[in-house]
Amino acid sequence: MSSELKAILVDDEKDSRDSLRHYITEYCQDVRILGEAENIKIALEQIARHQPDVVFLDVEMPFGNAFDLLDQIDDIQFEVIFVTAFSDYAVQALNMSASYYIMKPVDIDELVAAVEKVRVNRDQQTELKHARILADNVKTENKQMEKVVLPLIDGFEVIRVNEIAYCKAEDNFTEFHLKSGGTKMICRPLKFYEELLSSHDIFRIHKSYLVNLQFVARYRKGKGGSVVLENGVELDVAASRKKDLLDRF
């Protein structure tokens, strides 16, 4: 039998809270809702009072967003399922930390899947707190110092963007090559990381490669040319990506 999850709902719109409460009650019967909040102030009080296992948290609220709430909690001991409507910035930030989120209007299957992921994370006593990583990233001004959560077969690994030398496409997988010389095979396509890390100086030079521009030591001329990284690795640049690459420098 699944263990019960204590939950709090945070959303400034009453209709949204009512709808989410109905779905949780109907389809996530081992989730017990202990409180609700319409703003950050009340949410902080509810969290302190009930010590929830999971907080369903609306990303965009009129008097401070979800990231502002997390920033005010020193020790995040709960998981968060974010609820978001449209914000591309928010989705990118959530994906960096591999946080659990569902889109508005709420899809029941997505809700059930997110709750199950939180439960598995708790039952396995995983120390990784996605919300804590997210909160740290939001406060970090240097994009290269942000953390990215890489899903592995047996769990997760957390690395900083500045540890990445380059990424290589391997069918529907991505092979991360780290500055330390290590590699990580991740079950996500290169396109996913191209979009996720595009604002972090990680640039697609070829259909098979993303490179960390901060790690490029030299460019060799040619039809597309090639880049030489600080560790001596040389990677081809596609002719179609040459101009955009040189513009970045």
pLDDT means over runs of 10, the chain (249 residues): 84 94 94 94 94 92 82 87 79 84 91 90 68 82 91 84 97 95 94 94 97 96 95 96 93
pTM of the model: 0.78
Pairwise CA distance, residues 71 & 55, whole Å: 15
Which of 138, 168, 186 is where one domain is finished? 138
Tell me what pLDDT residue 122 has.
76
- Same-domain status, 41 and 67: yes
Q: Does 149 map to a domain?
A: no
Tell me what pLDDT residue 236 has: 97
> Quick one: pLDDT at residue 126?
61
pLDDT of residue 2: 56
Q: Are residues 40 and 91 in the same domain?
A: yes
Residue 213's CB is within 10 A of a number of other CB atoms, namely 16
Which candidate, 249, 143, 246, places its Cα nearest to that of 200?
143
Task: Based on the fold, state whether residues 171 and 126 are members of the same structural domain.
Answer: no
Structural domain span for residue 124: 5-138
What confidence score (pLDDT) does residue 87 get? Answer: 65
Same domain, 16 and 64: yes
Query: Is 125 part of any domain?
Result: yes
pLDDT at 1: 46
Show Cβ contacts of residue 53 under 8 Å, excluding neighbours closer than 6 positions.
Answer: 5, 6, 7, 78, 79, 118, 122
Final residue before a domain boundary, out of 111, 138, 165: 138
